[in-house]
Amino acid sequence: MARPWLRNPYLRLLSLLSITLFLSPTGHGGAQEAGESPTLAFVGARLLTMDGPEIDNGVLLVREGRILRVGAAGTVEVPAEAQVYDFSGQVILPGLVDTHSHIGGGGGGDSSAPIQPGVRVLDSINVRDSDLRRARAGGITTVNVMPGSGHLISGQTVYLKLRQGTTIENLLIRDAEGRPTGGLKMANGTNSRKDPPFPGTRGKSAALVREAYIAAQEYQDKVRRYADDPAKLPARDLGLEALGEVLDGKRMVHHHTHRHDDILTVLRLQKEFGFRVVLHHLSEGWKVAEDIAAAGVPCSIIVVDSPGGKLEAREAGFETGAILERAGVSVAFHTDDLITDSRFFLRSAALAVRAGMSRDGALRALTREPAAMLDLGERLGSLAAGKDADFVVLSGDPLSVYTKVLQTWIEGDKVFDRAVPEDALIADGGLGAGNPSSATLHDGCLAEEVVR
Residues near another protein, by CB under 8 A: 286, 304-311, 313-315, 317-319, 322-323, 338-339, 341, 344, 347, 350-351, 353-356, 399-404, 428-435
Q: Are 70 and 97 in contact (CB under 8 A)?
A: no
Rank residues 206 and 299 by Cβ distance to another protein and give the closer one.
Answer: 299
Shortest distance, CB of residue 296 to another protein, whole angstroms? 23
Rank residues 38 and 396 by Cβ distance to another protein and give the closer one.
Answer: 396
Rank residues 14 and 399 by Cβ distance to another protein and give the closer one.
Answer: 399
Q: Is the dihedral of CA 38, 43, 49, 52 positive or negative?
A: positive
Q: Are 397 and 390 in contact (CB under 8 A)?
A: no
Rank residues 145 and 433 by Cβ distance to another protein and give the closer one.
Answer: 433
* Separation of alpha carbons 78 and 59, rounded Å: 8
Shortest distance, CB of residue 181 to another protein, whole angstroms? 29
DSSP string, 171-210: HB-B-TTSPBP--EEEE-SSTT--STTS-SSHHHHHHHHH
Within the chain, what is the greatest distance between any pair of CA atoms? 73
Q: Are 74 and 359 in contact (CB under 8 A)?
A: no
Rank residues 115 and 137 by Cβ distance to another protein and give the closer one.
Answer: 137
Shortest distance, CB of residue 343 to another protein, whole angstroms? 9
Q: Are 191 and 147 in contact (CB under 8 A)?
A: no
Tell me, what DSSP letter sits at residue 319? Answer: T
Shortest distance, CB of residue 404 to another protein, whole angstroms? 8
* Separation of alpha carbons 13 and 448, rounded Å: 13
What own/partner pairs with CB < 8 Å and gap ≥ 24 does 356-362 have?
A: 356/319, 356/322, 357/321, 357/322, 357/325, 357/331, 358/325, 359/399, 361/321, 361/325, 361/331, 362/321, 362/333, 362/399
Q: Where are the alpha helices (DSSP H) in 9-153?
A: 9-23, 130-137
Shortest distance, CB of residue 127 to another protein, whole angstroms? 18
Closest-CA residue to 76 (of 93, 60, 64, 52): 60
Rank residues 184 and 322 by Cβ distance to another protein and give the closer one.
Answer: 322
Shortest distance, CB of residue 116 to another protein, whole angstroms? 24
Rank residues 332 and 350 by Cβ distance to another protein and give the closer one.
Answer: 350
Shortest distance, CB of residue 53 to another protein, whole angstroms? 21
* Separation of alpha carbons 239 and 345, rounded Å: 33
DSSP H or E segment with residue 217: helix 202-225
Q: Are 279 and 285 in contact (CB under 8 A)?
A: yes
Q: Are 147 and 104 in contact (CB under 8 A)?
A: no
Q: Are 214 and 220 in contact (CB under 8 A)?
A: no
Rank residues 24 and 402 by Cβ distance to another protein and give the closer one.
Answer: 402
Rank residues 50 and 426 by Cβ distance to another protein and give the closer one.
Answer: 426
Rank residues 388 and 423 by Cβ distance to another protein and give the closer one.
Answer: 423
* Separation of alpha carbons 307 and 281, rounded Å: 12
Shortest distance, CB of residue 424 to another protein, whole angstroms? 10
Q: What pairing do the DSSP bridges indicate for beta strands 253-257 and 277-281?
A: parallel
DSSP H or E segment with residue 257: strand 253-257
Enumerate the β-bridge partners of residue 84.
41
Rank residues 8 and 403 by Cβ distance to another protein and give the closer one.
Answer: 403
Rank residues 18 and 190 by Cβ distance to another protein and give the closer one.
Answer: 190
Length of the chain counted residue by residue = 452
